[in-house]
Structure 1
Amino acid sequence: MVDDEIVTWWGLVIEGYLATQDKLMGEIADRFGLTPATFDILLRLIRTPGHQLPMTRLATEATLSSGGFTKVADRMVAANLIFRAPSPHDRRVTYAQLTGHGREVADKARQACAEILRRRVLEPLGPEGAEALAEAMRTLRRVNG
C-alpha cells in the first residue's frame, strides 16, 4: 500500500468509528439522558460480579482523570445510579456500587445499545463482516495495547 492509500484507509476507519459512536451515544443520550462516560461506567459495573468496583480502578478503566471521575461519580450519586461504599477490608478503598435504580437503568441501556449496534453495525456489515471487524480490533488492541 502506498503512503496516501494507507493514511486514507486509516482515516476511513476512524471516521466510520466516530460516526457510528456518535449515533450510538446520541441515541443512548436521547433515550436515557446518559453521557458517554456515565454509560461506560454503568456498563462496567453491570458486568462486574456484585456490581461494584474500586473507584480508582473504575476511573482508570474509564480513562478519566481522578478529578473528572469524581465529577461524573458525584452526578451519578445525585441521579441515584451509584453509591459510594467503603471497603470493609481496607479503609483506603472506596467502591462505586450500582443502586437498584442504577442496575435497572444499566440493564435497559445495555439492551438498547445492543439493539442500536445490531441496526448500525451488524445489519450493514453482516455477521461475517462484524466478526471480522471485531477480530481486527482485537488484534490491534493486543499488538498496540
Structure 2
Amino acid sequence: MDAASRRGDEVTRAANSGLVRDFGLLLKAATRLEQRIDADLRRECAISHTMFEVLIRLCRKPDERVSQRRLADDLTLTSGGITRLIDRMEGAALVRRVPSPGDRRSVLVEATEGGRAVFVQAAAVHARVVERYFVAPLTRDDYVRLTGSLSEIHEALRGD
C-alpha cells in the first residue's frame, strides 16, 4: 500500500470515528430541536427563539433589567448582533432600553408589559415542543440520565 492509500484510509477512519458520529448526533438533534422551537415561536408568537432567550433573561425576576453586554455574553452574540436584536425587539414593543442608574454611559434592557405577555405565550409553545421532542421520546430514567450527563458536560466545560 502506498503513502496516498494509507493517508486515504487514515482520513476515512477519522471521518467515521465513533466520537465524530456521536458528537454529530448531539449537534444535529440540538439544531433540529432549536429549528422546531424557532419555527413554532415565529408562527404562534411572532418572535424568534433568540428573542425568546432574551425574554427569559428579562423575566426571571420582577422588574429585571440587564445590560446589553450581559445579554450578548449570555447568548454568545457580538455587540453589534445584540444591538440589532434589541432594536428589533424594541420596535416590536417587547423590550425597552432604560438608563443605568449606576452608570450614565450604560443602558439596561427591560421587558415591557407586552413583552411579558408574549413571553408567557411563548413559554407555553416552548414547553410543548420540548416535551414532544426532547422529553417524550425517552423513558423517565433515560431522560434523567441524559439531563444529568448534559449537566456534567456543562460543568466540565465551565471549569476550563
TM-score by length of 1: 0.90
Amino acid at match of 2:104: R
Q: Kindly indicate whether residue 18 of structure 2 is the aligned counterpart of residue 12 of structure 1.
A: no
Amino acid at match of 2:76: T
Q: Distance in 1 between matches of 2:74 and 2:48?
A: 16
Shift of 1:120: 1.3
The structure whose Rg is larger is 2
Unaligned runs of 5+ in 1: none
RMSD, aligned α-carbons:
1.7
Q: Distance in 2 between matches of 1:48 and 1:129?
A: 32
Q: Distance in 1 between matches of 2:142 and 2:62?
A: 32
Instruction: Give aligned pairs, total.
Output: 144
Unaligned runs of 5+ in 2: 1-12
Q: Distance in 1 between matches of 2:37 and 2:49?
A: 10
- Cα displacement string for residues 65-106 of structure 1 (whole angstroms, at most 9, x for unaligned residues): 111111111111110000011122221221100000001001
Q: Distance in 2 between matches of 1:142 and 1:120?
A: 24
- Cα displacement string for residues 41-73 of structure 1 (whole angstroms, at most 9, x for unaligned residues): 111111144232112111111111111111111
Q: Distance in 2 between matches of 1:56 and 1:9?
A: 34
1:6-45 maps to which residues of 2 (within 5 A)?
6-45=19-58
SS of match in other structure, 1:125: coil
2:102 to 86, 89, 94: 89
SS of match in other structure, 2:128: helix
SS of match in other structure, 1:138: helix
Match in the other structure for 2:149 = 136
Shift of 1:136: 1.2
Match in the other structure for 1:77 = 90
